[in-house]
Structure 1
Amino acid sequence: MQLTLDGRTALETKLDMSIELLREFEPDEGYYLAFSGGKDSVALLQAARLAGVRYDAHYSMTTIDPPEVTRFIRREFPEVEWRVPPEPFWRLVQTKGLPTRTRRWCCERLKEVGGSDRVVLLGLRAEESARRAKRGVFAPCHKQRKWFLSPLMDWTEEDVWAFHEREGLPHCSLYDEGWSRIG
């Protein structure tokens, strides 16, 4: 366990910074918390609880979600509101083609539709990709009227799992089967 100069663990310092961000930017109407059922969004939800900020959590179903994920969310997080898209993934594929790295309509149409005129909490971490690292902790959405706040941006995967253990947080069984990402 690595300690910082003030004798605290790196995770404690990062958690305090995340809580401070959540409290500093809390909008009057509360946050729109984007919840995927993955390890990061579970950690984000717990950080929001610890911060004592107002939020409503939302799961955007893609219609191709692993059943383990949907069961996990229903069982462990019944307070999360579900958004079911008007058109399922496979119907969209018929009109738009399969999504690719350059034609990324899938997330835009199925996952990123909620939270207009709100501050949306995301469980993004810089460690996940160079693109996410460039994004910043607080960023505008250029396609819709909303802002994104990613209070776990500086956390590592190790931090997330240590936070799960420390807080006794549940995780989807797919992680136990070797999946590294599910959300």
Structure 2
Amino acid sequence: MTTKADIDIALTQLQGKSPQEVLTWTLEQLHPHVALASSFGAEDVVLIDMMAKIRPDACVFTLDTGRLPYETYDVLAAIRQKYPQLQIQVMFPQTDTVQQMVQDKGINLFYDSVENRKQCCYIRKVEPLNRALAGLKSWITGLRRDQTTNRADMRVIELDAERSISKINPLIDWTNDQVWEYIHQNGVPYNALHDKNYPSIGCAPCTRAIAPGEDLRAGRWWWEQSNQECGLHVNEQGELVRSKA
């Protein structure tokens, strides 16, 4: 599925289906050439539980930026223990590139400018993501429409035009309440920071708790105020990487 025509055909089959039905179709069609990109946030652990029940040896990868909260490592360990057959790949940034960046601009360069923050995100997240996706035919995400205005018109399956593979979003129609209802009903391990008002969790220095009434993504790169994306799902122009409707 590398063209818009392919995506449109798949969309007719997946539109309106439950997340489990979307994942069943995806794993039947594409395993082992499809993987969930997981930061072990609430949406991702829901998808992991669903995938493990459909295909216990499903593929998952995560990006260890070197700046993650310890709570994220705790939930990764818990997920490995609960779903031992899952194929979980941990991707790391290139050591030499990180070392040069820190030497040139400092350990917390991202606070100094948007350009520095984007450079750090690219080196620690986007470049490892590109390596993780190499050789895959599709990737699965935990994106939901109501997370940000940027994502409001996303579809259950889209073309990642930058990488010429498909992107599948099984939870695109779910609400935050549905995510948490599933977690509690199924006993899914989750990041302890969620209980401290962290709805969206990335690197430790780039994530804070949110206040009541704040946007769900307000705790990410809060010093930039308007920014809501790290680069994993956008192109160089800041636009979502996707096929056009």
Does 1 or 2 have the higher relative contact order (CA < 8 Å, sep 6+)? 1
Q: 1:9 maps to what in 2?
A: none
Q: Which residue does 2:50 correspond to in 1?
A: 47
Separation in 1 of the partners of 2:164 and 2:158?
Answer: 12
Of residues 154-163 and 171-180 in structure 1, the stretch that sits farther from structure 2 once superposed is 171-180
- Return 23-32 or 60-69, whichever deviates more: 23-32
How far residue 46 of structure 1 moved from its aligned partner, in angstroms, is: 1.2
Alignment of 1:6-155 (within 5 A): 17-26=18-27, 27-30=29-32, 31-52=34-55, 55-77=58-80, 79=86, 80-87=88-95, 91-92=100-101, 94=104, 98=110, 100=114, 104-105=118-119, 106=121, 107-111=125-129, 113-116=131-134, 117-155=136-174
Deviation at 1:139, TM superposition (A): 1.3
Q: CA deviation at 1:110?
A: 4.4
What one-letter code is carried by the residue in structure 1 that aligns with 2:51?
A
Separation in 2 of the partners of 1:74 and 1:53?
Answer: 17
Question: When the two structures are superposed, what TM-score results if normalisation uses the length of structure 2?
Answer: 0.59
In structure 1, the gaps of 5 or more residues are: 1-14
Percent identity (aligned): 20
Scaled by the length of structure 1, what TM-score is found? 0.77
Instruction: Determine helix, strand or coil for the equivalent of 1:161.
Output: helix
**Runs of 5+ consecutive residues of structure 2 not aligned to the other structure:** 1-15, 203-245
Number of residue pairs matched by the alignment: 168
State the one-letter code of the partner of 2:181.
Answer: A
Quick one: which amino acid aligns to residue 179 of structure 1? Answer: Y
> Cα RMSD between the aligned structures?
2.9
Supply the distance in 2 between the matched residues of 1:136 and 1:47 (Cα, whole angstroms): 19
Looking at structure 2, the residues matched to 175 and 90 of structure 1 have their Cα atoms a distance apart, in angstroms, of 31
Tell me, yes or no, if the aligned pair for 1:23 and 1:53 is still in contact at 8 Å: no
Superposed displacement of residue 40, structure 1: 0.7
Matched-pair contact (CA < 8 Å) for 1:33–1:121: yes
User: How many Å separate the matches in 2 of 1:121 and 1:72?
Assistant: 19
Confirm or deny: 8 A CA contact 1:62 1:89 kept in the other structure: no
